[in-house]
Structures are given as structure tokens and as C-alpha cells.
Amino acid sequence: MTFSDEFELLLCARYPSIYIPTLEEERLEQAIAQSAKRQGNRPVYIWDFVDGYQGNPNDEGSARRNPLQALEKIEKIAPDSPGVFILRDFHRFLSDVSVSRKLRNLSRSLKSQPKNIVILSPEIDIPSDLSEVLTVLEFPLPTAAEIQAEIERLLATSDRFLDSKVLDELVRSCQGLSLERIRRVLARAIATHGEIQPEDVELVLEEKRQTIRQTQILDFYPTTERISDIGGLDNLKDWLLRRGGAFSEKARQYGLPYPRGLLLVGIQGTGKSLTAKAISHHWHLPLLRLDVGRLFAGLVGESESRTRQMVQLAEALAPCVLWIDEIDKAFSGADGKGDSGTTSRVFGTFVTWLAEKRSPVFVVATANNIQALPPEMLRKGRFDEIFFVGLPSQEERRAIFAVHLSKLRPHNIKSYDLDRLAYETPDFSGAEIEQTLIEAMHIGFSQNRDFTTDDILESASQIVPLARTAQEQIEFLQNWAAAGKARLASRHSSLSDRIGRQL
């Protein structure tokens, strides 16, 4: 059901007070006016604090700087006269006892009249005493069809047409932006070179990054990492490569649903975050990073509002990859103790969205401590698959050394004994191998020469791997994975060998 359908249904059902949170005031007012016209050509009255009522010459400027008078004006209009009353920024006055009481009184009388109050607000901020009076209605960001119509309108002004493939790419890059921002960035493109060009997609992406930065909830994360930059994890890489085309229209025609996401559980420094970045780059999808801590705010109801805003923004930017790092730390307090249940409510909203989402948002969540995760997160249906990322085997350590050295010393990588390096670094994670190479480079640089295999082994001898300092936690994770609770990301890991022996 579209916004217009839902809004017109509320008008017909005589819902007295409708609360619509949005930053797109102009576009929303146009949509309301069109719906009011379809519903018997109802008059639309618009009020704001500075200018009062606008649009009707008889009421011009009335109730200026007086929100209580704005409500009394509605009451004075004949009971059988229809009307839609748009009150801009009225959420700021709802905590006033006289305004709150008047709104509740009006809601009783308007149930039998063809009048509706519509409160426009940039955010949801409803006092508890009005929760039963106000009906919240979401106003979504522009659809692909709306964006395409706007781009074609702007193209017509410059007598220019774009190839259908380029137009589709431009429309996709604009998804997640308000119509006003789309107009602004495309107007900038026209002002720069007199027309809209295929290269202007980058301008749109920069505007999108700016929008995401302003929300202070999601980060637009640039990626250059490739699947080939991941050493080992063959099972996981095969799984990802098979789903490379799952977001295409061809996959929809085949009947494939969108991939839902992955939960990567394992030891720190084994490549879980690197995998999230590589997925985004390989699938040519934008990577959004969610810091769950930013969802939580001090005001009652604001955390839940931010969670809904995050969901709306991620779905508007779809198809995309949503990366949630160390989700175990974010929701370890989901039992609700100590924070009035805020964490529990945010967690509930989030996992419900994970289970019910139909949009092409591929969620990649990473976790180090499986014990801290609520059981609901591990239930089937939240993610397509749960992978365990363990310590690399000797063969995988060789591959990790090869990946790093091919970047650091591509011209003389053959001078390094990869087999010896892999053999001499048991229990080292990928991150610890990288740190070993950095330390070896310091050794070589301090002596004004290139670093060698012996330098790498010397630096490795000075590092105590996490597998020894956190042995109990790692053994628990390995036992958990060995019990069949997760799919193994590595084909040749030491844990794979262990499970094989058990079988």
C-alpha cells in the first residue's frame, strides 16, 4: 500500500489527528493536496508559527504565533465542512497543557466530522498523554519511479536524453536522497556543464555521503578490498561468489529472493571485517557501517525513532551492504536490565526487521563473543548463514603472507620463504600476521635495508598471539563451532581437521 492509499484510507475512516515525521515538507504537502483533491476536493489549510494560516485570503495570517488559536480555528469551521489542516512543526507545542488538552478535545468531536488534522514534524516526538490520540504515518523517500520522472523532467529542460542503462544507474544512485536534494545536485550538474552527464553519478554519491553523515547513525564506507585480498576462508568465499548476481533483475525473473545476510562469528583478527568490505566491493554495492551505539539516545522514545530512521535510510539506499561490527557488544544488554528496557526495545525492532525485511539490504554482522549474543539473533531466518571464522591453518597462513607481501614487495616476493613463515607462526591470526610484517619492516628500515624472512620470524617471536592470551574463550568458540552450531568459513582450517577426526 502506497502512502497516498494509506493516507486516503485514514481520511475516509475519519482519523482525527495524523502525525507524519518527514524532512520533505514541500513534497509531503503536495502529496496531501493530491489526496485531498481525490477525496471530494477537500480544502487544505496550512498553518505555521511564523505566518499563521496561509492559502485562503479570508484566513491569511490568522493564529500567527498562537498554536492554541490554530486549533480553535478548526473548531470554528462548520461541522459539515470538510478540510485537511496541516500544522507545520506542531510537535514543539504538544507538551503545552492547553494545546494537549485542546487537541484531545478536538479528537473527540472530529470523529464525526469530515476534518483531519495533520501534524508535520522532522522527527517523532509525541508526549505519552497524546499517544492514543495521534496516528503516526510514515512518509517514505522518493521511489525509483518518482526519481526517474524528476530526472527526465530535468533532462527535458536541457533537451538532453540519457542512455537507458546510464539513466538506471543514475536513478539507483539517487535512491535514499530526498527529492529536494536530487534536484539540487542535478541542478549543480547542469550549472557546471549545461547538461546532465553519466559522470554526474559521482556528484550524486557525494551528496548521498553528505546525507548519511548528517544522520550521524550510518557511515558511508568506501571500499577497495577485493575477495582475493582475503587469505583462506575458501568455504565463505565460494558461498559469496555463488551469490554475486543475486541482486540482478535476472535473478528476480528466475524467482530467487534477495540474500538476507551473514553472521560471522569467530576470533578477533581473523578477517571478519575485511570480508564485509570485500563483499561490498565485489558485488558493486555501497557499504553502510552501523555503529549501534549511535542508535541509543537519552530521551524516551528517541532510540526507537533512530532505529526506524536507520532502517528507512538503509532500505532507501538498497541494494546495499549494511555492516554491523561487533554486534555482540552492542546487544549484550538486551535483557533490558538497567536501562528501562531501551536496549531490549531497540533489539526487538532490529531483529524483527531482520526477519521480515524484503528489501535488498544485505546485512553483514560480526561477533567475537557468541555467549553475549541473545538467542533470538541466532535463530534461522535472521541471516542466510552463520559462519565460524577460526584461526588460519598453515596453508591459509601461507596465503595470508602471500597476500600482504604481494602488496608490500610485489617485485621480490619470491625472496621470502612463505612455507617457513607459515610453519613458524602457529596460532597466529591474520591481523597478527600483518602486525608481524609491519614490525619486520621497522627492523629493516632502521638498518637502512629491506626486511627479510629472518626479520619477519624475529618479529613473530616477540608477539604473543591472542590464541594464547585468550585461550579459554577461543576454545569455547571452537567447541561451539565443532558442535555444528555454525558453518566453517575455512576448508582447510585446523578446526576442519578436528571435526573430520571426530566424524
Interhelix angle 144-157/179-193, rounded to 10 degrees, is 30
CA distances from 273 to 103, 221, 287, 368 (A): 50, 12, 12, 11
Q: How far apart are CA 49 and CA 33, in angstroms?
A: 20
Q: How far apart are CA 94 and CA 147, in angstroms?
A: 34
> Tell me, what's the pLDDT at 245?
82
Most confident of 38-47, 205-214, 315-324: 38-47
Domain spanning 394-426+430-464, CATH architecture: Orthogonal Bundle (1.10)
> Tell me, what's the pLDDT at 503?
40
| Chain segment 276-307, per-residue pLDDT in tens | 889 988 887 888 998 887 777 655 567 777 88
User: Above 90 in pLDDT, residue 142?
Assistant: no
**412's grid cell:** 621480490
E-strand stretches of 199-332: 218-221, 261-266, 287-290, 320-324
User: Above 70 in pLDDT, residue 340?
Assistant: no
Radius of gyration of the chain measured on its C-alpha atoms:
28
In this predicted structure, which of 384-388, 434-438, 474-478 has the lowest mean pLDDT? 474-478
Domains in the chain: boundaries: 3-136, 144-215, 227-389, 394-426+430-464
Domain 227-389: assigned CATH number: 3.40.50.300
> Tell me, what's the pLDDT at 500?
43
Interhelix angle 234-242/272-283, rounded to 10 degrees, is 30
> Tell me, what's the pLDDT at 339?
55
> Tell me, what's the pLDDT at 497?
43
| Chain segment 185-218, per-residue pLDDT in tens | 888 888 887 777 777 777 887 777 777 777 778 8
Decide whether 3-136 matches 227-389 in CATH topology.
yes
Q: How far apart are CA 394 and CA 303, in angstroms?
A: 45
- Asked: is 3-136 a CATH 3.40.50.300 domain? The reply is yes
Q: Average per-residue pLDDT in the chain?
A: 86
Q: Give me the helices (H) in 317-417, please.
A: 327-330, 342-356, 375-378, 394-408
Whether 331 contacts 373, CB under 8 Å: yes
**Nearest to 24, CA basis, from 185, 207, 168, 176:** 176
Q: Is the peptide bond before 67 cis (omega within 30 degrees of 0)?
A: no
pLDDT band at 181 (very low <50, low <70, confident <90, very high): confident
Q: How far apart are CA 243 and CA 256, in angstroms?
A: 10
Query: Cell 508535520 belongs to which residue?
Result: 120
What pTM does this model have?
Answer: 0.68
Phi and psi angles of residue 113, each rounded to the nearest 5 degrees, phi first: -125, 155
> Tell me, what's the pLDDT at 114?
94
Most confident of 15-19, 57-61, 126-130, 336-340: 15-19
**Nearest to 316, CA basis, from 486, 182, 491:** 182
Residue 387, classed as helix, strand or coil, is: strand
CA distances from 45 to 32, 229, 313 (A): 11, 60, 30
Comparison of pLDDT for 268 and 448, the residue scoring more = 448
Give me the torsion for CA of 479, 485, 486, 490, rounded to 10°.
30
- Please enumerate, as own/partner, the contacts of 291-294 that have beta carbons within 8 Å and a separation of 24 or more: 291/217, 291/219, 292/324, 292/327, 292/330, 292/331, 293/330, 294/216, 294/217
